[in-house]
Amino acid sequence: MTGRNLDYGHTKSDAAEGKMAKTTLLTMGRDLYNLYMLLNDQDDLPQWCHYKLAKSSADLATVTDYLTSKITKLCIDKNIDAKTLRLHIKESFKHEDWHISRKLEKLY
């Protein structure tokens, strides 16, 4: 699949920001997993930890909402129906699983 322009404006850069974002998300996933496994339900955490986790969650939700809206609009503009989109997503996961598992192995 070729890259999409999800940025503002009409010109797509060749910076491969999607790849960088996916690498960052894998790193975040690793950190989330490690922290989840380290914590006990009854642990007492400093207030700043709660703030940072809540802020990170809100920021990620904002990025997810924005990019989901942009991709949805691109699909509507190109008359891609929901069934075709779901099939494409399903197929892309088949190809991504191997790459993601290899990247996770390198992170650990």
- Give pLDDT, residue 48: 97
Total number of domains constituting the chain: 2
- Give pLDDT, residue 6: 79
Residue 39 is assigned to a structural domain of this protein = no
Structure tokens at 86: 């779901």
d(CA 102, CA 97) in angstroms, rounded, equals 9
Burial of 71 (C-beta count, 10 Å sphere; 0-12/13-18/19+):
middle
Query: Do residues 6 and 73 touch, judged by C-beta distance below 8 A?
Result: no
Residue 9 is assigned to a structural domain of this protein = no
Q: Please tell me whether residues 85 and 106 are part of one structural domain.
A: yes
Across the chain, mean pLDDT equals 82
Residue 105 lies in domain: 80-108
Its pTM stands at 0.66
Q: Please tell me whether residues 73 and 85 are part of one structural domain.
A: no
Residue 68 is assigned to a structural domain of this protein = yes
* pLDDT, tens only, 16-62: 888 899 899 999 999 999 999 999 999 999 999 999 999 999 999 99
Residue 91 is assigned to a structural domain of this protein = yes
